[in-house]
Amino acid sequence: MSNYYQPSGRFSPSSFLYFILTSVIIIPILALIYTYLIWYIPFFYINIFITVGFGLGVGLAISHLVVKLGKVRNSTIALVFGFLGGLIALYFSWAIWVDLVINAGESYGNSRIGITTSSIEFLQVFGLALQPSVLLEFISEINKTGTWGIRGGAVSGTILMIIWVIEFLIILVISIFLPLFRAKIPFCETDNKWFNEETLPAFNFIKNPKEMVANLENSNQNSFINLQYSTTSENESHSIFTLYSSEKGKNYITIDNKKAKTNDKNEIEFDSNEFVEYISISSELRNKLSK
């Protein structure tokens, strides 16, 4: 039997209902906020962070409202939920953005930077969303001329298409990754619920991770004899233990070594090395660590 947690591959049928509700309520709201932000904030580099934030919002919504509530322990299903959620988010965003272009009003600013006022008509947005061919036709026409520029020049054609592809990949990758990560977190099949997750107070830095992993795999507690809580974790190297426990099932632990270093601004930063993930431990060791 493996010492490491392996998802059962099961899921609750209710996860599909949660996905539908998230797709028709939460994701459109996120798409509306995202689209208005990138429309009214005329700074390309800021918009990159907004796009990442949109991907995180969609990914977290699918992760918590679908995978977690729907008790999805199947990586393939979690991946599909994330993928479809990302596509739906992008599709709604496109419908809203095209409607903003259609209803564009006065422009303010100069040749280098400016904004164009606009507002959506909800019935028109739904009309566009229900007619993919019409929406794609508008997008194709917009691509030929562009709606914004960099340093006074309009961005259109191939360059604009590349930017759209980058936006697509950012949102889709994040939307997939977060639900996939959530589905791999330990779930107790006996209790039919997720393991209780607890981040323990910082311990001293693990100098020999390979030895500790080997001892854990052989149910040997020698590596924990000299383990002590770190009182200077904010400034010095330390380790973070995340404990996953259940009333009836096994107990698992993940260990992350945090190595301190000084950056160019003379500030303390930490390099992370999660050298073991979801490895089983005895109830005795769990009680010892969580004291």
pLDDT in tens, 169-224: 999 999 999 999 999 999 999 889 999 999 999 999 999 999 999 999 998 888 88
Residue 54 lies in a domain: yes
Residue 9 lies in a domain: no
Closest CA to 87 of 63, 67, 58: 58
- Asked if pLDDT for residue 248 goes beyond 90, the answer is no
- Structural domain total, the chain: 2
pLDDT in tens, 9-51: 999 999 999 999 999 999 999 999 999 999 888 777 899 999 9
pLDDT in tens, 90-112: 999 999 999 998 988 676 665 55
* Domain containing residue 135: 14-184
Torsional sign, CA 62, 83, 277, 280? positive
Q: Which residues make beta-bridge pairs with 109?
A: 114
Whether residue 45 sits in one domain with residue 163: yes
CA angle 140, 144, 147 (to 5 degrees): 95
Structure tokens at 220: 């040997």
Residue 26 lies in a domain: yes
CA angle 30, 73, 195 (to 5 degrees): 95
Whether residue 88 sits in one domain with residue 180: yes
Whether residue 200 sits in one domain with residue 98: no
User: Which of 160, 184, 208 represents a domain boundary (last residue)?
Assistant: 184
